[in-house]
Amino acid sequence: MKVIPAIDVRNGKTVQLVGGKPGTERFAIDDVTGIARRWQDEGAEMIHIIDLDSAMGIGNNEELIENIIGGLSIPVQVGGGIRTVDKVHRLFEIGCERVIVGTRAIQERPFVEDLSQQYTDGIVVALDSVADKVMIKGWQESSGRGLLTVAEDLETLPFWGFLYTNVEVEGRLEGINPVAIERLIKATTKPVIVSGGVTAMSDLATLRRMGVDSVVVGTAIYTGHINFKKAVREFS
């Protein structure tokens, strides 16, 4: 199981929002490339970057993301507001290992189908959930579609896997909801990356027992609730 550090970027800074809501930043760090190098130095096998400005439709941080990738020797997966084929192409061109698609993937199955055929091992579909409904547009709207319904609908397409985020526990440092995660794992044969609510080493142990491919950790490693280097040593 990979333990992957999260770098959420807003206005050119690393932030962590509670439940994805603007204005709830727990911190804002200016040296984003330095943070990425720090996690690499502490043993990260991959970096997870979300462009919050792009997700919310208020700009993008593509140049910064390119600089981050250029300064690392480990792979990077990027998500946030990726709703056109051209943007997917650009992200792969600047060196992304995987590209995470959410809103349009949920709304338009042919979009995922096309990307899957072009980048079979490079596409991850984001399933961002509130009350078992998949959220879209930077977690600001509900798609009205059930989590397992979407997963089962997309299951046969040849993309890499799913990124599941429980928005209700995201950034709150109150632990994970294992029930929803377990249901998704049983509903798909694809690898599942889990994000949201990971607060302690015990959460990581639970997720490893459940068979998740990777875990994205954010607020917990920035606040010291989880020692990232130790987590990598124990679980990777």
At residue 140's C-alpha, the angle toward residues 12 and 52, to 5°, is: 15
Strand, coil or helix: what is 142? strand
Query: Alpha-carbon distance 59 to 3, whole Å?
Result: 29
What is the rounded distance in angstroms from the CA atom of residue 198 to the CA atom of residue 236?
A: 16
Q: DSSP code of 161?
A: E
In the prediction, which pLDDT does 131 show?
A: 84
Residue 120 is predicted with a pLDDT of 85
Catalogue the long-range contacts made by 34-42 (C-beta closer than 8 Å, 24 or more residues apart): 35/7, 36/7, 36/68, 36/71, 36/72, 37/71, 37/72, 39/5, 39/7, 39/221, 39/228, 40/72, 40/73, 40/74, 42/228, 42/229, 42/232
Whether this model's pTM surpasses 0.85: yes
Catalytic residues: 8, 128
- Predicted confidence at residue 136, as pLDDT, reads 86
Q: What pLDDT shows up at residue 141?
A: 84
pLDDT truncated to tens, each residue of the chain (236 aa)? 999 999 999 999 989 877 667 776 777 899 999 999 999 999 999 999 999 999 888 899 999 999 999 999 999 999 999 999 999 999 999 999 999 999 999 999 999 999 999 998 999 999 998 888 998 887 788 888 999 999 999 999 999 999 999 988 877 788 999 999 999 999 999 999 999 999 999 999 999 999 999 999 999 999 999 999 999 999 98
Helices (H), the chain: 32-41, 52-55, 62-70, 85-93, 103-107, 109-118, 147-154, 178-187, 201-210, 219-223, 228-235
Name all domains of the chain by residue range, CATH numbers in brackets. Answer: 2-235 (3.20.20.70)
